[in-house]
């Protein structure tokens, strides 16, 4: 046994040496193996997207072997008796054969579909995490754009794959797509002829969608995923704020062996969950819908969740008075605005946000420590507002199901959602921003006065004072480490000679943008404020040990050197709180270690 092991090790070493001498792979492996990655559950969202993509590729290769991407007419004869003798396309017939005749075919179809839904959900939630924590800041603006393009390609992959079976449901979606394309002024009709190969539905659509779905989009996705991961390695991973974590280090685990083992195990967990869902929950039963026929439109027909917002926007748009004929051309605003303008605005805002925020901040430094969402109120409120509008559109895309389930008028539902689409995002923005500012004020109070203990002390002269427990240095660091963001200051419009300064208009615009971001803010606690808050006037003799300990931690918590803090200790504070000596917290100490 030992001889076999020795021979195996020698063969592996010889192979590795052979590859290293010809490719230099040893240097790359050593560099990647030593790469440090922080440990936080939210970082798994990106891994879920990556592992779902792997499952999609594996299951997609299987499906490709049996699917026939053809719109040629045939008559079905097979085990699904309800469809025997029905005229249909080869694409739909091969989907039925794949579902009922190929061993494991239905399971693989459902694995593929559930993995696609999970892939899109992971991308969206991953981008939400990046957005709310400010992980898109310099030097990661390009990586944000790469992730945004991956989101668009995911939508294209999902829509093209969803349409391949050529059933009634997907055919109705393609018919809507044809209408959306035709609503584009001037080029709409030509673009529709190019996509469908003639008048809808044509004879070339399924083969073209198949090429897009299995070749073009996956190739672009794989290339961009590789670029995305390369940029993550080059820039090093972001990390959540905490004591000992700065923009110059990464606190976590090495890629090999710790992180590699965790990632490998997590891949099989993701695969297992997708397989369990596919085995127990039916999705897209095309045999119940039947082959595509332009005449029937079934009730309760909704696309997959990631396209449902587009369906909802179309359903909410009024029809009367929105079609104009200009110069012999019909301008269909009832389709153009909800299906092109609204998604265009949404996606444009997401794509350019890092550059807009960088302009509003005027900060050109690199950032590797993430923001707490409460410390960026405008960004957090805007993200919640966008998600609220998206949710309203998703619910509006299911208005017929809501009406049927709750016995409500579909017209009333539409009217309510039209109002909510404009009111709820504004309300969500205002409430979220107020909550963030309130949480910042709470953090200030905690840093200045500590945790309430519920213990009241009475002095000899009759005064009552509540005893507070000071924060430990790790907790204090988390609450004061963020930077104070203020609106940009610009030079005057005219110089000393009264000549108007060049670029003043641009600077003025950036200043207004900066005020929109940072005019409402709560300043973080300064060392002088902390020292003053812990100076209790006439109660110094009682609180001196506790105050001195807290003052000693000021330099640690704020990164200060100590000279200013020392001079600030003489300032007299309010004398409203008595600081209780800090007691050891085993749970906190274990976490910090």
In this predicted structure, what is the pLDDT of residue 584? 44
Residue 171 is inside which H or E element, if any?
helix 168-182
Q: How many CB atoms lie within 10 A of CB 590?
A: 8
Burial track 18-54 (b if 16+ CB lie within 10 A, e otherwise): eeeeeeeeeeeeeeeeebbbbeeeebbbbbbbbbbbe
Could you give the CA distance from residue 373 to residue 381 in angstroms, rounded to a whole number? 9
Residue 325 is inside which H or E element, if any?
strand 323-326
In a domain, 376, yes or no: no
Instruction: Single out the residue in 264, 296, 328 at which a domain terminates.
Output: 296
Asked whether residue 206 falls in the same domain as residue 58, the answer is yes
In a domain, 226, yes or no: yes
In this predicted structure, what is the pLDDT of residue 298? 67
Kindly report the CATH number assigned to the domain that includes residue 147.
1.20.810.10
In a domain, 561, yes or no: yes
In a domain, 13, yes or no: no
Dig out the tokens for 443 from the structure: 């953090």
In a domain, 235, yes or no: yes
In a domain, 187, yes or no: yes
Q: Which domain holds residue 211?
A: 47-69+80-296
In this predicted structure, what is the pLDDT of residue 3? 64
In this predicted structure, what is the pLDDT of residue 536? 57
Q: Give the SS3 label for residue 459.
A: coil
- 42 DSSP assignment: G
Cα distances from 479 to residues 171, 520, 555, in angstroms, run 54, 18, 14
**Region 266-284 average pLDDT:** 95
In a domain, 470, yes or no: yes
**Region 121-130 average pLDDT:** 95
Asked whether residue 96 falls in the same domain as residue 245, the answer is yes
Confidence of residue 299 (pLDDT cuts 50, 70, 90): low
Flag whether pLDDT at 586 surpasses 50: no
Q: How many CB atoms lie within 10 A of CB 225?
A: 17
Cα distances from 461 to residues 344, 464, 539, in angstroms, run 69, 9, 12
Flag whether pLDDT at 59 surpasses 70: yes
**Region 119-146 average pLDDT:** 95
Query: Does a cis peptide bond (omega within 30 degrees of 0) precede residue 271?
Result: no
Dig out the tokens for 292 from the structure: 């595509």
Q: Give the SS3 label for residue 246.
A: coil
Could you give the CA distance from residue 243 to residue 247 in angstroms, rounded to a whole number? 12
Question: Per DSSP, what are the bridge partners of residue 326?
Answer: 329
Handedness of CA 240, 242, 246, 251 (dihedral sign): negative
Could you give the CA distance from residue 183 to residue 191 in angstroms, rounded to a whole number? 10
Instruction: Single out the residue in 272, 296, 320 at which a domain terminates.
Output: 296
The burial of 486, by beta-carbon neighbours within 10 Å (0-12 exposed, 13-18 middle, 19 or more buried), is given as middle
Handedness of CA 285, 288, 290, 296 (dihedral sign): negative
Which residues contact residue 574 at a Cβ distance below 8 angstroms, ignoring those fewer than 6 apart? 533, 537
- This prediction has a pTM of 0.84
Cβ atoms of 59 and 111 within 8 Å: the answer is: yes
In this predicted structure, what is the pLDDT of residue 585? 46
- Provide the number of structural domains found in the chain: 2
Spell out the SS3 assignment of 409-446.
CHHHHHHHHHHHHHHHHHHHHHHHHHHHHHHHHHHHHH
The per-residue DSSP string of 279-323 comes to HHS----HHHH-B--SS---TT----GGGHHHHHHHHHS--TT-E
pLDDT tens per residue across span 414-466? 999 999 999 999 999 999 999 999 999 999 988 888 888 888 888 888 888 88
Which residue in the block uniquely carries the two structure tokens 């200051």? 489
**Region 472-491 average pLDDT:** 84
Could you give the CA distance from residue 257 to residue 69 in angstroms, rounded to a whole number? 44
Dig out the tokens for 336 from the structure: 């153009």
Strands (E), 427-533: 451-458, 464-469
Cβ atoms of 555 and 519 within 8 Å: the answer is: no
Instruction: Single out the residue in 262, 296, 330 at which a domain terminates.
Output: 296
Flag whether pLDDT at 522 surpasses 80: yes
Flag whether pLDDT at 334 surpasses 60: yes
pLDDT tens per residue across span 338-357? 999 989 998 999 999 999 99
pLDDT tens per residue across span 304-321? 899 899 999 999 998 777
In a domain, 414, yes or no: no
Flag whether pLDDT at 83 surpasses 80: yes
Confidence of residue 4 (pLDDT cuts 50, 70, 90): low
Strands (E), 460-532: 464-469
For the chain, what is the mean pLDDT? Answer: 84
pLDDT tens per residue across span 99-118? 999 999 999 999 999 999 99
Question: Per DSSP, what are the bridge partners of residue 331?
Answer: 324
């Amino acid at each position: 046994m030992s001889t076999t092991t020795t021979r195996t090790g020698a063969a592996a070493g010889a192979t590795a040496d052979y590859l290293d001498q010809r490719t230099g792979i040893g240097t790359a492996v050593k560099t990647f193996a030593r790469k440090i990655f922080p440990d936080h559950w939210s970082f798994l969202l990106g891994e879920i997207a990556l592992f779902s993509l792997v499952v999609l590729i594996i299951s997609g290769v299987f499906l490709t072997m049996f699917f026939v991407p053809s719109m040629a007419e045939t008559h079905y004869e097979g085990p699904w008796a309800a469809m025997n003798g029905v005229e249909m396309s080869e694409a739909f017939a091969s989907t039925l054969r794949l579902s009922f005749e190929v061993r494991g075919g239905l399971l693989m179809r459902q694995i593929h579909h559930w993995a696609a839904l999970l892939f899109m959900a992971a991308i969206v939630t991953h981008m939400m995490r990046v957005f709310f924590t400010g992980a898109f800041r310099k030097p990661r603006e390009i990586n944000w754009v790469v992730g945004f393009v991956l989101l668009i390609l995911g939508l294209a992959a999902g829509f093209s794959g969803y349409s391949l079976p050529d059933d009634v449901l997907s055919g109705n979606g393609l018919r809507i797509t044809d209408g959306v394309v035709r609503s584009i002024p001037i080029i709409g009709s030509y673009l529709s002829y190019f996509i469908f190969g003639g008048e809808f539905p044509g004879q070339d659509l399924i083969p073209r969608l198949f090429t897009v779905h299995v070749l073009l989009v996956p190739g672009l996705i794989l290339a961009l995923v590789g670029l995305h991961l390369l940029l993550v390695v080059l820039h090093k991973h972001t990390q959540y704020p905490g004591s000992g974590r700065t923009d110059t280090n990464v606190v976590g685990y090495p890629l090999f062996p710790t992180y590699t083992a965790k990632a490998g195990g997590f891949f099989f967990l993701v695969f297992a969950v997708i397989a369990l869902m596919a085995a127990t929950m039916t999705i897209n039963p095309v045999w119940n819908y039947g082959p595509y026929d332009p005449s029937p439109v079934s009730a309760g027909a909704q696309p997959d969740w990631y396209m449902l917002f587009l369906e909802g926007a179309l359903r909410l748009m009024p029809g009367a008075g929105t079609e104009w004929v200009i110069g012999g051309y019909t301008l269909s605003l009832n389709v153009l605005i909800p299906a092109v303008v609204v998604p265009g605005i949404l996606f444009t805002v997401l794509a350019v946000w890092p550059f807009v925020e960088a302009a509003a901040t005027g900060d050109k430094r690199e950032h590797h420590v993430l923001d707490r969402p409460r410390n960026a109120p405008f960004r957090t409120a805007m993200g919640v507002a966008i998600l609220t509008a998206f949710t309203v559109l998703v619910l509006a895309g299911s208005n017929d199901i809501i009406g049927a389930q709750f016995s409500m008028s579909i017209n009333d539902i539409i009217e309510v959602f039209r109002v909510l689409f404009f009111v709820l995002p504004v309300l969500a923005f205002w409430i979220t921003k107020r909550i963030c500012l309130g949480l910042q004020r709470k953090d200030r109070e905690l840093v200045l006065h500590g945790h309430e203990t519920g213990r009241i002390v009475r002095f000899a002269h009759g005064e009552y004072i509540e005893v507070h427990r000071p924060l430990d240095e790790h907790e204090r660091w988390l609450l004061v480490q963020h930077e104070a963001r203020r609106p940009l200051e610009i030079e005057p419009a005219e110089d000393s000679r009264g000549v108007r300064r060049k670029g003043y208009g641009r600077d003025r615009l950036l200043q207004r943008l900066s005020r929109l971001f940072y005019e409402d803010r709560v300043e973080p606690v300064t060392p002088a404020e902390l020292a003053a808050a812990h100076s209790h006037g006439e109660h110094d003799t009682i609180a001196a040990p506790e105050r001195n300990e807290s003052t000693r931690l000021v330099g640690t918590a704020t990164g200060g050197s100590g000279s200013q803090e020392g001079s600030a200790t003489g300032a007299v504070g309010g004398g409203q709180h008595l600081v209780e000596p800090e007691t050891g917290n085993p749970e906190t100490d274990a976490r910090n270690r």
